[in-house]
Structure 1
Amino acid sequence: MNADHRPGDDRRDARGRQRSAARSRGDRTRTAQAPSQRRRGTDPARTAAYDVLREVDGSDAYANLVLPPLLRERRITGRDAAFATELAYGTLRLRGRYDAVLARCVDRPLERLDPPLLDVLRLGTHQILGMRVPQHAAVSETVGLARQHVGAGPAQMVNAVLRKVARTPLDDWLQQIRADAPDPLTASALTGSHPLWVTRALREALAGDGRDPAEIDALLEADNTAPRVTLVARPGLVSAHEVRAGAPDSVDLAPGRWLPTALVLGGQDPLAVPAVADGRAGVQDEGSQAVALALAAAPLDGPDERWLDLCAGPGGKAALLAGLAAQRGARLVANEVAPHRARLVERALRAVPDGVVERVRTGDGREVGEQEPGAYDRVLVDAPCTGLGALRRRPESRWRRTPADLAVLTGLQRDLLGSALDAVRPGGVVAYVTCSPHLAETRLVVEDVLRRREGVERLDAGAALRSVVVPGTDLPLGDRQDAQLWPHVHGTDAMHLTLLRKAH
């Protein structure tokens, strides 16, 4: 075989598009529909979802950055926009599950399919198994999408494969996948649509937090459930009551589950809420709010006048801290290494009264401790991490991250935490936060840093978190000094919090 010849190349037509197996064999069987009746394309919502998947795969783009401007540009609104969003995000979240199904319906390894064709098959499978779309519509519209984007030959294959998918209910597919898996963890990874290494790490994190490792399936399912949009009413700038009172009647706002600052939005555009539009409120997960509030509530010795957000971009936690600082007469410095993210921080802080934000500093957080030793009373280290705690928000991240990322990130995390401990004064408090429960990014980073220095004590992070929830609310946490939130338990991102106080 020629070294440049790939399996399947003999099925390509003159335009380079992949032909079906039947066409390549000379099988001239046709659908019963007349050519004039066959769908040549599909609707704008499905086309938009397809284009998002191609951008995510081909350009390493993030769906949450690609989809909204695409919908605006194509004037896709209302129910069509909601359909496109669920189709794109749901397909990305459940890609692993659907690939396990498709592998049982396609006559060749999935890696031999052209990526655009595989994305079309995934989109069709999600409509059949994951959405309330009639099967005939899911099949016919996806065949039209295939004909438009990958050619008539592959469209016939899409028709045949999706009809196989549709013949078996989802629960039966999942039962087959579990039965064929070599072990229970692999079964959970496939049916729960997470890479095996991520599934293993999450199960270990559950056990490390004193939880039952058998919760792994519930955790994976929570990762596959679209999160509600949560708003934060930034203290010192606006109250939750004022946010609700100032919102239009058409906007549905309900109290958050845990915090007096949190509000849950009922599906409308957040910018329809005036307090969000002018920066007094913002979009922020309740777990993200909680860890910032806990830092402000943690006990320290001595003055409480100067705070630092060491890794401030894009600015949500910085804005919340700035509101709290305004209430207390403190000042905030927000540091961010990337100039474009520093501009996002400045925008997030636009409603903060003059004099509260000392400056938005653009620089490497690893150098702040040396440049300003002992200069701050409270320091937040919201460290860059794998983001395994926010997979429900960025579903494509689970397929991009690899175990090799940990070595780079954990080294950075140790350096940033060390810099924060140098930057805080004796008696001051550091909050080490990650949006990941992975033990290598949480407990092991803290233990490694503390092993190399003396005069740092751990504070009870759980007690600090419980002190900021709505009075009378029971926040279930482990019995460790650090604290871990979970999507399947708390309905938040899986935020980790360790609180450290520097001894005098």
Structure 2
Amino acid sequence: MPNRTLRRRRPDRPRRIAFRVLRAVQVDGAYANLELARALAGAHLEARDAAFVTELVAGTSRLAGTYDAIVAVASGRDQLDPALAEVLRLGAHQLLSMRVPLHAAVGATVDLAAAEVGEKVAGLTNAVLRKVAARDLDAWVAALAQGRDDLDALALRTHHPRWIAQAYRDLLGDEAETALAANNEAPLTTLVVRPGLAGRDELGGEPTPFSPWGARRAGNPAEVAAVAEGRAGVQDEGSQLMVAALAHVPAPAGPWLDLCAGPGGKAALLAGLAIGERTRLLASERQPHRAALVAGALGVYTGEHAPVVIAADGTRPAWPAGFFARVMADVPCTGLGALRRRPEARWRRSPADLTALVPLQRSLLASALDSACPGGVVAYVTCSPHPRETTEVVDAVLSGRDDVTVVNAPAVLGVPDAARGDFVQLWPHRHGTDAMFCALLRVNDQAGRGRR
């Protein structure tokens, strides 16, 4: 009898590339969008194949937890070899969320499993995927939800872990399902000009509805001349609006600070606006390799008020207290507000990450306030709506100080349906942006200076 292993087809390149990107995400902690861009840049695929890889990576990352639950039922196993589990997720996505015919999805995935995991798993892969294909996605979700409470059912329907669904429901009530569902819709790329170096009319596409500096467009951003030349970049409109909030609030004349500047998107916008005010931005980033990214983004600005980039720890400032008129504190966070663009984060993050991040967030906010001059303004920003790293951080830091006044940030920004008390909260389903949070805090003209 001929050896069937010798007659098995080699996996097609798009599926193999998608598998290896997803393994890098799982094994090396890579970001799916960045690893995908790197892989596609070196693959030289035709546009159709590149789009197929993109959907495989993004879609499988987005629904990974749901697919794991389906595969567990279909296989009767709670534990699988990690590489095989990745192959089965890819197969499940093709069967349940893409228009790939059954024979093609199963056959190609079996070939992939045999090549990447081993011939011994080919039969199991075939059997599991045929059981997966016996129901559509809605039927699988309904079956998995049987006997679960309402919160579990919400999490299953919207493809999020329970703890994230809980946070959204606590914040939004009946609106939570719409908000969670919006995290599953891939956004158009949003571009932003470098103020003073490019005009929005150079970006093409559709102007952003709230930011005066951006436009949304399909296609490769590098094909836009202003982007290729560094006079524009890629930045979600929500991030642009965080800069707008800080730039528009009245503040004294003086230098500006970006306390946690990496990788440089907000810093590049701030730098151009600071130059327009005939002042300078200091961009600080603790990690040297990220500081280098910031320097690259800001290198297009030259002249008397060109920005300065340093590698420094924001909790141990390398500058004197009370020196800056405007301070951006875009602190490290869970990234739960950017799940449209980083779909794997919902399964990678856990409540333990909040516990680890909150002390750093509080320390950075306190440092930012100490860095502002009398009358100066601090923007505390996170790409997360979760109360523990937004309102609770602000409340905790301000409870120990009598030298800070909360500014009405929604009134400053002027974006509808963005008020969360005196703070700004953007949402994908309301504003078409990442779920960015912003608190504007003014340091009073008296008392409390130099406090660390």
- The offset of 1:358, in angstroms, is 4.2
State the partner residue of 2:225. 274
Distance in 2 (CA, whole Å) between partners of 1:479 and 1:409 is 22
State the partner residue of 2:313. 364
State the partner residue of 1:4. none
Deviations 1:218-254 (A, max 9, x none): 222222222211001222221211333xxxxxxxx22
Count of aligned positions? 445
The within-5 A match list for 1:250-265 is 253-265=205-217
Match of 2:103 among 114, 127, 136: 136
Q: Is the 8 A contact 1:385 1:441 kept in 2?
A: yes
Distance in 2 (CA, whole Å) between partners of 1:484 and 1:190 is 25
Distance in 1 (CA, whole Å) between partners of 2:434 and 2:361 is 19
Match of 2:160 among 187, 194, 211: 194
TM-score, normalised via structure 1 length: 0.84
TM-score, normalised via structure 2 length: 0.94
Are 2:128 and 1:161 aligned?
yes
The within-5 A match list for 1:216-365 is 216-244=176-204, 253-266=205-218, 268-300=219-251, 303-365=252-314
Match of 1:41 among 5, 10, 27: 10
Deviations 1:325-354 (A, max 9, x none): 122212111111111111111111122232
**Where do 5+ consecutive residues of structure 1 fail to align?**
1-29, 245-252, 467-473
Match of 2:45 among 61, 65, 76: 76
Which letter maps to 1:281?
Answer: A
Are 2:382 and 1:434 aligned?
yes
RMSD value over aligned CA atoms? 2.0
Are 2:36 and 1:85 aligned?
no
The within-5 A match list for 1:39-188 is 39-109=8-78, 111=79, 113-180=80-147, 182-188=148-154
- The offset of 1:409, in angstroms, is 1.1
Determine what percentage of the aligned residue pairs are the same residue.
51
State the partner residue of 2:449. none
Q: Is the 8 A contact 1:223 1:392 kept in 2?
A: yes
State the partner residue of 2:392. 444
Distance in 2 (CA, whole Å) between partners of 1:386 and 1:343 is 23
Which letter maps to 2:179?
Answer: L
Deviations 1:330-385 (A, max 9, x none): 211111111111111111112223222341121111122x8411111100000011
Runs of 4+ in 1 over 4 A off after TM superposition: 33-39
SS of the residue corresponding to residue 119 of structure 1 reads helix
Q: Is the 8 A contact 2:425 2:435 kept in 1?
A: yes
Which letter maps to 2:228?
Answer: A
State the partner residue of 1:13. none
